[in-house]
Every structure is written in C-alpha cells, then in structure tokens.
Amino acid sequence: MKSLLVIGGDRIGNILKNLEGEGFGEVIHLNGRKKKMVRTDIPRKVDLILVLTDFINHNLTGAIKRKAQEYGIPICFSKRSWCFIHEEIKRSQMNVNK
C-alpha cells in the first residue's frame, strides 16, 4: 500500500477518491495556508509528496522541498486539477522506477 502526502488545497474530496484509485491507500492532507506550517515536519513514511501549487503558502513550498530532499522522498508539483495531478504522479512514478 502506497502512501501520499498532499500539501495545499482546502478540500480534496474528489481528488482523494481518484488517488485511492491510483493505488494510494493512505493519503495525508495538509492545507498549507497558515504561516506556521513552515515549521511542520513531514512524515518519513510517505512514498510521495504532492504539492498543489495554486493553494499554498510559498515559504512552505521551499521548506517542504528541502525536507523532501533531506529525507529522500520524491516530490511533485501540480495545479489542483485531476488532469495535472494524474500526469505528475505518473511522471514521478516513472522516475522512481528508473
């Protein structure tokens, strides 16, 4: 069972259903709007981090990117549209399998 950390977006109800269809059994969601979230640590158990770029604090984006590199967790950035999300997840999974 794969796990995913989604950062950004206030509500991801329909996206959550699609992610489960892609094989992500555990999806953790942080909305990413508050300034204090920059200090939030990311779980090390996730297989992939998805950042929804149109609904996030920009300082948090940089902090998450640094933490993902430090922990060796793949990260992808997408708009909050299933078409974009699906493509980014496919692309990141292809890069991991190389």
Q: What is the CATH number of the domain that holds 59?
A: 3.40.50.10050
pLDDT in tens, 36-87: 777 778 888 999 999 998 778 788 888 899 999 999 999 999 998 999 999 9
Domain span at residue 63 reads 2-97
Predicted local confidence at residue 39, as pLDDT: 76
pLDDT band at 25 (very low <50, low <70, confident <90, very high): very high
CB atoms within 10 A of CB 75: 21
Instruction: Yes or no: say if 49 and 68 are a contact pair by the CB < 8 Å rule.
Output: yes
Instruction: Yes or no: say if 83 and 61 are a contact pair by the CB < 8 Å rule.
Output: no
pTM above 0.95?
no
Predicted local confidence at residue 1, as pLDDT: 67
At residue 12, φ and ψ (nearest 5 deg) are -125, 30
Count of domains forming the chain: 1
- The predicted model gives 7-25 an average pLDDT of 88
